[in-house]
Structure formats: C-alpha cells, structure tokens
Amino acid sequence: MTDAWASLMPTYAPAPVTFVRGKGSRLFDADGRAYLDFIGGLAVTSLGHAHPVVAEALATQARTLLHVSNLFRNELAPEVATTIDRLLGGGGRVFFCNSGAEANECAIKLARRWAGRRSAGPGSGTAGPGRHGVVSLEQSFHGRTLAAMAATGQPAKQAPFQPLPPGFRSIAIGDSAALAEALSTGGVGAVLLEPLQGEGGVNEVPDEWLVEVRALCDASDVLLVLDEVQTGLGRTGRWFGFEHSGIRPDVVTLAKALGNGVPVGACWARAEVADAFVPGDHGTTFGGQPLALAAARAVLEVMEAEDVSSRAAKAGDHLRSALLPLPGVASVRGRGLLLAAELAGRPSADVTAAALGRGLVVQAVTPTAVRLAPSLLVAEAEIDEAVAILAAVLGDVPPVGGPA
C-alpha cells in the first residue's frame, strides 16, 4: 500500500491523527471523532477554529482581491498597521510578513541597519557592519531561518546546520552580569528575547529582570527586541507579555494569533528605529497581502470586542488552579493561557499520547512538561473537561520507576 505522506519531506514525526475540521475549541478527525483542542495550533487559533467573523472576512476578501504585490498599495495595510501600533502604545511603524521567523528576521536586519547607521554617525546615508551582534537567551526559540536559528538558544537545534551566521550569543535568564559583559564589548546592536519562553518549555522571564534589561540596553544604546510571536495579542493575560513588567521595547515581533491560522506576521518598531530602513533594504512577495490582512483585521476586531486579554487572565487562573491539585502534577508555570504542567515523574510524551487517545490535544513541550494553550475564548466548562481528562490520564500513566 502506498503511503500518501511519503511525498512530503520528513521534517516532522509521523502523526497519529489527521484532523479535517474544527469549530471553536473542538477538532474533528477523518472518522468524525471530536477532540478538545488545548494547544491551538501552537498558540495560533486564539479565537478557536472557524471563527465566523474571520471566516466571513476571508470569504469576502477572496471574492474581492487576493494579491497585488508590494509594488502597489492595498487599502488594508494602513488600517491593520494602525491598530497594531495603537495596541503597542503608538509612535511606531509596521512591516508585514508571513510568519514569526520572518518577523524576527526583519527585526534582526533592522537592528543591524539601525546600529550600523548609529556607528556611522548622524546624517550618514550609508552603514557599515557596525554593531551587528545580538544577545538572546538560553532555551529561547526565534524561528527556523538561519539568522533566527542563530538567535535561538538551543544548541541541539543549531548543531545540524553549523556554521550559523556569526554575531549571536545566548545568556541565561536573569544573568545580568553576562548581559552587562556582552554589552560592554561595543559590538552588540540588539537584545532579543521572549517575555515568556514558549517552545523552550514555557519558561518565565522575571518582570524585574526585564526592567533591568531595559536599563542596560538604554545605557549601552542597544535596541531591546521583544519576540511576542507566541505571547502577544492577549495570550498571557495582557495584550503583550512585556506589559506585565511595565517596560517599553524598541521592536516587537508578532505572528501566530494575528491571523488565527492564516499565515501573517508583523514587525513593529519605534518610528526612529523603523526609519533606519530605506526602500530596497527589506521586502517580501506575500507579506501584507490583502487576504492575510483581511484575516488580521477581523481577528483584531474580535479580540478587542471580546477583551481577550482579560478573558485569558481569568481563564488562565481557573486552569492553573484546576491543574495544581492533580496527582502527578508537580507545578504549573506560565501566564494567562500559556501554561506548562510539570509532571511528577511521568514522561510527558506518554501523557500527551494518552490524552490524545481520550480526546484531548496537548503538547509535550519538554520531556517532563505538558503545554496547554487553548483558545482565548475557551469556556470554563471546557477547561474543566480538559482537566478531568488529564486527571484520568495521569491515573493511567504510572510514574517512572513504579507507583509513587
């Protein structure tokens, strides 16, 4: 029998389920079986599956205009950019792209252009290499392009693709001395970090340390770039993860929830920083095209109408409180509706496989932790249902080494 999947490159492990339909917090497989989705396409479908407002916006735009290229303007780009800028506090400009990796690639290029111009002096029309270095955090994840991977603080992901672009260095979360030392070299143009690490294991970055990072960047004339690809747009209980600390970044990258499943990303920067780019410095064929921005416009409208950040804060508190008493859960970390349940001796891969068998989709984000990132519109009853399934699964999956 021919394997229909053999025509695809083997970049992902074989999946046990094929989903063919979704509605709200539910997914349905090819046999019609329903699953409660508590990973949301890796924190992408923040409004749930097939949200009617987003679906209608896509259908209308598909009948109107799909693509014109960035040689010409389209009427949606300024509107969506203005909304993003407003949510981020104003005073910035936006570049649209197709993914989080591309948004981070834009941010890295922009930081090099900005730092090069600073090094070249005021009024310089050209820029040399300047301060091209980027400091990121260990266990971070910024994407799969070569530059974004170089900024990703996970050596195992980098190893097959060495040598990576030079100029990148990762430090431990909270290591102020290492950051100060890195910035003292004079070769760094940007610090790039996630306010709450997603793919690295839902690792918390202390608010007070972010305040210190902001101060160190200011003292060294270095850009602070916040990767909000996973944490942005309400996920952590605020519009953006950095808002918990009260700081203001120089550059912010977005994607994932911005299109609720439609590929769209954005890089926002303070106007002074954004103006380091000139025509020809950066571009994209599909970024900011009408179909993607029709989705983004609808998503942002629904998010504001539903006050998703407040909903995520409340639902996240409920989910955390329900998870903590479960036998087999050692601790819960994260914010809002981006949480990880650290398991007491149980392999997370076994737990997630058993949960899938019972109709719950979660992810083994580390060998010992399960990530939960449901829709920001998730109902309290759905949270209770998911926790009940996890409780049953934890009862079925024995701890490593036998009964606790």
pLDDT of residue 328: 95
**Is residue 390 assigned to a domain?**
yes
Q: How many residues does the chain have?
A: 404
- Please state the φ and ψ torsions of residue 360, each to the nearest 5 degrees: -125, 130
Query: Domain count of the chain?
Result: 2
Question: 38, 95, 168, 227: which one is catalytic?
Answer: 227
DSSP string, 31-50: T--EEEESSHHHHT-TT-BT
Q: Are residues 158 and 293 in the same domain?
A: yes
pLDDT of residue 402: 58
Report the C-alpha gap between 253 and 240 in whole angstroms.
11
Question: 141, 168, 240, 242: which one is catalytic?
Answer: 141
Report the C-alpha gap between 5 and 84 in whole angstroms.
39
Percent of the chain with pLDDT over 70: 96
Q: Is 250 a catalytic residue?
A: no
**DSSP letter (8 states) at residue 5:** G
CA atoms within 13 A on the CB side of 94: 26
Tell which residue, 352, 361, 402, has the closest CA to residue 382: 361
* CATH number of the domain residue 19 falls in: 3.90.1150.10
- The alpha carbon of 212 is separated from its chain's Cα centroid by a whole number of angstroms, namely 23
List pLDDT tens digits, range 203-255.
999 999 999 999 999 999 999 999 999 999 999 999 999 999 999 999 999 99
**Is residue 256 assigned to a domain?**
yes
**Is residue 300 assigned to a domain?**
yes
**Quick one: how many helices (H) and strands (E) in the chain?**
13, 17
Q: Are 97 and 106 in contact (CB under 8 A)?
A: yes
Q: What is the mean pLDDT of the chain?
A: 95
Domain termination residue (choose one: 260, 275, 306): 306
pLDDT of residue 127: 44
Report the C-alpha gap between 364 and 340 in whole angstroms.
9
Q: Are residues 294 and 349 in the same domain?
A: no
Q: Are residues 47 and 87 in the same domain?
A: no
Q: Are residues 224 and 360 in the same domain?
A: no
Q: Is 95 a catalytic residue?
A: no
Q: Are residues 313 and 351 in the same domain?
A: yes
Q: Is 227 a catalytic residue?
A: yes
Q: Are residues 76 and 159 in the same domain?
A: yes
pLDDT of residue 121: 56
CA atoms within 13 A on the CB side of 264: 27
**Is residue 314 assigned to a domain?**
yes
Q: Are residues 282 and 201 in the same domain?
A: yes
**Is residue 402 assigned to a domain?**
no
What residues contact 38, with CB distance under 8 A and at least 6 apart?
A: 25, 360, 361, 362, 372, 373, 374, 386
pTM score, whole prediction: 0.95
Report, as ranges of residue numbers, the positions in the chain whose pLDDT lies below 70. Answer: 1-2, 119-130, 401-404
What residues contact 271, with CB distance under 8 A and at least 6 apart?
A: 91, 92, 93
Q: Residue 366's domain spans which residues?
A: 4-51+308-396
Q: Which residue type does 378 have?
A: V
pLDDT of residue 118: 76
pLDDT of residue 124: 43
Question: 96, 168, 242, 256: which one is catalytic?
Answer: 256
* CATH number of the domain residue 231 falls in: 3.40.640.10
List pLDDT tens digits, range 136-185.
999 999 999 999 999 999 999 999 999 999 999 999 999 999 999 999 99
Domain termination residue (choose one: 252, 287, 306): 306
Cis peptide before 163, with omega less than 30 degrees from 0? yes
**Is residue 401 assigned to a domain?**
no
pLDDT of residue 399: 84
Domain termination residue (choose one: 306, 339, 367): 306
Q: Are residues 302 and 158 in the same domain?
A: yes
